[in-house]
Amino acid sequence: MTRSIFLVGPMGAGKSTIGKLMAAQLQLPFVDTDKVLEERTGADIPWIFDVEGEAGFRRRESEILEELCRGDSHIIGTGGGIVLLEENRRQLQKYGYVVYLQANIDQLLERTSKNSNRPLLRVPNPRQRIAEILQEREPLYREVADIICDTNDLSPKQASLLVAERLSNLLSG
């Protein structure tokens, strides 16, 4: 079994965008846990949060992660909160190489302000919310990461190239 490559990081880090670019570059299939979840439920993420709460969303997310871990090797864009559950962290580490995409609060705010499909940021002060999320999750992203990539000054294509290069170094060394 070849391991998958998991992209983790907060909302707006670029997991979906960079994941697709990396998949094209490395000629591997791409899958996004948020997309799978939406396709399976026929509902968008805010709707799932409304109906089942964050806990319901996390349960579904975990099930999808478990299935993907048992499947073929993919580039996998994860949901920003996938690291919150310990069982998910164990799966990520066991079944893949994990890339933590980092960006600062200003970048995350700007990148997430373009659409409103992130229920956790539907608050009066999204900047503060992002800061709280980073404080809680930063150690968890670090805990699972094989590679940490700062994307602040990189375009998505530059980030994709850099991550692929660093993965290649990791695998050869």
Ligand X SMILES: Nc1ncnc2c1ncn2[C@@H]1O[C@H](COP(=O)(O)OP(=O)(O)OP(=O)(O)O)[C@@H](O)[C@H]1O
Ligand Y SMILES: O=C(O)C1=C[C@@H](O)[C@@H](O)[C@H](O)C1
Q: Is 34 in the site for ligand X (CB under 6 A)?
A: yes
154 binds, among ligand Y, ligand X, Mg ion, none (CB under 5 to 8 A by kind): ligand X
Q: Please give the Cα distance from 149 to 141 (Å, whole number).
A: 11
Instruction: Check binding of 154 to ligand X (CB under 6 A).
Output: yes
Q: Which residues within the stretch 118-137 sit at the binding site for ligand X (CB under 6 A)?
A: 118
Using rule CB under 5 A, residue 151 touches Mg ion? no
- Residue 17 in marked binding region: yes
Q: How many residues bind Mg ion (CB under 5 A)?
A: 2
Closest CA to 93 of 38, 33, 157, 141: 141
7 contacts 77 by C-beta, under 8 angstroms: yes
4: contact with Mg ion by CB under 5 A: no
For Mg ion, the binding residue among 4, 16, 151, 160 (CB under 5 A) is 16
Rounded to whole angstroms, the Cα distance separating 127 from 172 reads 40
